[in-house]
Amino acid sequence: MEIAPSVSHILETSLYVSDLSRSRIFYQRLFGFEALLEDHRMCALRVPSSGVLLLFKHDGSLAPSHVPGGVIPPHGGSGALHLCFAVPLASLDAWTAHLERQNVALESRVRQRFGGISLYFRDPDGHSVEVATPGLWTNY
Amino acid sequence: MEIAPSVSHILETSLYVSDLSRSRIFYQRLFGFEALLEDHRMCALRVPSSGVLLLFKHDGSLAPSHVPGGVIPPHGGSGALHLCFAVPLASLDAWTAHLERQNVALESRVRQRFGGISLYFRDPDGHSVEVATPGLWTNY
């Protein structure tokens, strides 16, 4: 029986957007994420703890990217993607108020099966963004 | 100056796949991820530490999902998406050997700017999967 080498955590999750600056501003204003890198085709935002949200301009990642250390393979998606950020239970009311103050419409609020509460809203490209308190899954 | 409520970490990242069972088997064999939930339209796989990889069958998430606690909004993507899992530096050789034993072609190996090493390969739908040792970004 072969044992898989271990994984530490999800490091990067990616979204594909039509206006890089608009999306960066949205995620930075709403979440306070620090920009780690930004160029004409992508923006990398630091997500607690030890994660990175990658925003790629549509068609900006469809060619291989030659960097000094090798070749980053191409990729590129479309449609309304989904991602979720874990937030502390204590922050739920603050999140609700924060979305309202930022004029981000709350699309849905769901009590999940293990008691966690999810708030769903859309980013400027219509991606489905969720913030969820502990109790969404058995491992968080 | 308004302070954003805090984020704990990336909880969920999503892929859209054509054959749910094939994708589940791929990620479980390669990464050893435990299935948290599986039905006809999606599969949730537990990712260390406190993360979840969601696999959605194409078109399986395009309608709102009515659950006892509320309504989960629709979403759905296409194309070759990108995600990255952090792996320990000590596991790099084991990962290289593991991919070879699993007949997963290594598409690229890149030394990143801060010294981390990335291995890139494709999942059954052509999504660009990366495993990266520490030193890819300044925060990991």
What interface predicted TM-score (ipTM) does this complex get?
A: 0.95
Measured in whole angstroms, the distance separating CA B44 from the mean position of its chain's CA atoms is 10
Same domain for B55 and B96, yes or no, is no
CA dist., res. B56 & res. B42, Å (int): 4
Question: Residue B36: is it exposed, middle or buried by C-beta count within 10 angstroms (0-12/13-18/19+)?
Answer: middle
Q: Model pTM?
A: 0.96
Same domain for B58 and B102, yes or no, is no
CATH of the domain at B28: 3.30.720.120
Number of domains chain A contains? 2
Best interface-test mutation with B: which of A12, A37, A104 has the largest number of B CBs within 10 A? A12
Using CB atoms, which residue from B8, B11, B128 is nearest to A88?
Answer: B8
Contact B100, B106 (CB under 8 A): yes
Q: Which domain covers residue B40, as residue numbers? A: 1-62
Question: Which token pair is A105?
Answer: 């419409």
Same domain for A57 and A91, yes or no, is no
Q: pLDDT tens digits for A13-64?
A: 999 999 999 999 999 999 999 999 999 999 999 999 999 999 999 999 999 9
List of E strands, A1-127: 9-17, 34-38, 42-47, 51-57, 65-67, 70-72, 76-80, 82-86, 108-111, 117-122
B24 in a structural domain: yes
Same domain for A31 and A83, yes or no, is no
Best interface-test mutation with B: which of A10, A58, A93 has the largest number of B CBs within 10 A? A10
Q: Which helix (H) or strand (E) holds B6?
A: none
- pLDDT above 70: residue B12: yes
Q: Are the beta carbons of A83 and B109 separated by less than 8 Å?
A: no
B95 in a structural domain: yes
CB contacts, 8 Å: A32 with chain B: 3-4
Q: pLDDT tens digits for A69-114?
A: 999 999 999 999 999 999 999 999 999 999 999 999 999 999 998 9
Q: Are the beta carbons of B48 and A5 separated by less than 8 Å?
A: no
CATH of the domain at B112: 3.10.180.10
Same domain for A25 and A89, yes or no, is no
Choose the final residue of a domain: A55, A77, A99.
A77
Q: A100-139: b or e for each residue (b if 16 or more CB lie within 10 Å)?
A: eeeebeebbebebeeebbbbbbbbebebbbbbbbbbbbee
Same domain for B87 and B140, yes or no, is yes
Same domain for A57 and A99, yes or no, is no
Q: Are the beta carbons of B139 and A78 separated by less than 8 Å?
A: no
